[in-house]
Structure 1
């Protein structure tokens, strides 16, 4: 795969094209939100740096070096990540796998590449790495990935070429999902996961595999559709129990709730226009609007405000149980006409 085959990130790819038209930098830092694809870009960059016939578009994909890289057996790349269950990379691993290895000539390529998960570097490890970054031997390349560069030493930041990945468009995430095959031909699921991911492919791919997420979506949508027929007792027992039992996923639930209410508002305002988040449930929403006599945009707006107020309250240590019940009761008041 060449740089041009990677989805999105045009500015970054343009910079890489320019670099590989000449002599690439020796130290890179790839930044961006968790799940945005730092490791994917880092590996493609590493492959290009090791390639025997690289062009401005990156690795050729055909030479022996590329073949070894794709097979995971290339001897000239070292990857440093925290071991399972550990918060940081062991300094012993850096000493033995990097400091003691850096002066050894590459075996089959003209360069050696060290890929490091910099989010997992303790301060002492950063200081150890800094010595190698200051004066790397010829042919040695560093690729650091980091979600929060503010935790890195300023002296490290000053010695690397930073490539900051930006959130993807919904269409770009949809392409990544389609290419993965995780959603099959289910266009509705592909669109929903892409939109919900906020431009983070890793999140979209995770949602596509998450059966609990599909269940959450159905529950929240069904809750809104049933709200006019619910009693206060239903809300304070069954629904409150569901929300309390899923408090660790409250951010997802609130977004799903806002999307469902937003779809109701959109169809109220323009029955035949607009693209719904829950596009596969348009007819159900239309029936809901028809059944709830006197429902207005003001009612739905007030319900959305209740969701927003609850979300804001979570940031200032309110009582989760009480605030959640209050939100549900306010929504019920607006929708149970």
Structure 2
């Protein structure tokens, strides 16, 4: 991350200016927000600022010995703590190493900074071990926790941090940012990605790199075939062997919210235009009680997916599709 990294997410500049205005800082921060709004970039830029020996205009100078070491990836007073593999837990032995690091004297004679990302990946033993470091902070040592789901952290951890929410940018700001980040796409394609990303622009870029638009088209076509009884749930589940379950659950959550808006009169048309014909038809025929029951089941299982529960992939997709189709059969 460059020294001016914070400017790559300009919607966070108001928070940045407040945090860097003073010379005294909390010993622990919790940067929280939706996935893809730039929390990790913010934390890296703030770490750079804290480690810099000669910060200028509320930024790391990029020139001092500390900045040069950090840019080379060899700063002895900066520690990044993350899972060994994506989706795995952060274990207690890693947090013990963090505690040892925080107890040492800064080798560069300045501050020490730890970035812990994602904080909710800590298992219970690791989280309890972290509490000791939070309760007994070392001088000039800063712990920066980054979390998509702060509610999954122990309340005692949250209470010992300065919780800083990092917002999702406005639709206009996000689209302007995407026009520069994804110049080869047209406005409609960028808007579709941003909708899938829940308004988070960095998430939209990640979805583009995953070719999520193509995956989404396959799912939409499959769901339409399912509702017309042209395709079975089991066959569709077999046809999507690499489709990320979190994406699938998110799309069904989006469609369900559209159904609720249409059902209650909060909207006249669905936000998800690729289901513009299906969702209004369903909204007219699906009973509200069935819709609420379905939403409860869906949110419960989405939580299990986000929490890395060991779900049977094919069985989950098949069950999801069967329950979706049964909504139309309960009228």
TM-score, normalisation: structure 2 = 0.69
Query: CA offset at residue 204 of structure 1?
Result: 1.0
Bigger CA radius of gyration: 1
Q: Compared with structure 1, are the counterparts of its residues 49 and 244 closer, same or farther at alpha carbon in structure 2 (3 Å cutoff)?
A: same
Q: Is the 8 A contact 1:16 1:56 kept in 2?
A: no
Q: 1:217 to 1:327 in 2, by over 3 A?
A: farther
Q: 1:149 to 1:86 in 2, by over 3 A?
A: closer
Task: Give the 5 Å matches for 1:152-301.
Answer: 152-181=153-182, 184-217=184-217, 220=220, 235-238=228-231, 248=245, 249=248, 251-252=250-251, 255=254, 301=280
1:22 is matched with 23
Q: 2: CA distance between counterparts of 1:311 and 1:210?
A: 31
**Structure 2: how far apart are the matches of 1:308 and 1:55?**
61
- Residue ranges of structure 1 left out of the alignment (5+ in a row): 228-232, 263-268, 289-298, 331-337
Root-mean-square deviation (CA, aligned residues, Å) is 4.2
CA spacing shift, 1:277–1:38, aligned 2, 3 Å: same
Deviation of the 1:84 alpha carbon: 1.6
Q: Give, in angstroms, the shift of residue 327 of structure 1.
A: 5.8
Q: 2-side partners of 1:122 and 1:320: how far apart?
A: 29
Q: 1:315 aligns with which of 291, 295, 302?
A: 295
Helix, strand or coil at the partner of 1:194: helix
Are the structure 2 counterparts of residues 165 and 243 from structure 1 closer, same or farther at C-alpha, using a change threshold of 3 Å?
farther
* Distance verdict in 2 for CA 1:22–1:254, change over 3 Å: closer
Measured at CA, do residues 302 and 17 of structure 1 come closer, stay the same or move farther in structure 2, by a change above 3 Å? same
CA distance in 2 between partners of 1:243 and 1:51 (Å):
54
Residue of structure 2 in register with 1:293 after alignment? none
The equivalent of 1:291 in structure 2 is none
> Equivalents in 1 of 2:155, 2:256: separation in Å?
42
Q: 1:204 to 1:312 in 2, by over 3 A?
A: farther
Aligned equivalents of 1:145 and 1:87: distance in 2? 16
CA contact (8 A) 2:48 2:67 kept: yes
Map 1:29-44 → 2, pairs under 5 A: 29-44=30-45
Gaps of 5+ in 2: 262-267, 299-318
Alpha carbons of structure 1 residues 325 and 2: separation in structure 2 relative to 1, 3 Å: closer
Q: Matched residue of 1:237: which SS?
A: coil
Conserved? CA contact 2:17–2:58, under 8 Å: no
For residue 12 of structure 1, what is the aligned residue in structure 2?
Answer: 15
* 1:201–1:178 Cα change, 3 Å: same
1:67-86 superposed matches below 5 A: 67-84=68-85
Q: Shift of residue 126 of structure 1? A: 2.8
Q: Shift in Å at residue 320 of structure 1?
A: 4.5
Q: Say if 1:179 and 1:105 are closer, same or farther in 2 by CA, change over 3 A.
A: farther
> Could you give the per-residue CA deviations for residues 275-332 of structure 1, whole angstroms, max 9, x where no partner exists?
x976xx9xxx9xx9xxxxxxxxxx98444445896764433559645554456799xx
Paired with 2:101 and 2:63, the residues of 1 have a C-alpha distance of 28
Give yes or no for contact 2:33–2:39 (8 Å, CA) kept in 1: yes
Alpha-carbon separation, structure 1, partners of 2:47 and 2:13? 18
Say whether 1:65 aligns with 2:66. Answer: yes
CA deviations over 1:86-124 (Å, ceiling 9, x no partner)? 7432322222x3232323322336111111232122333
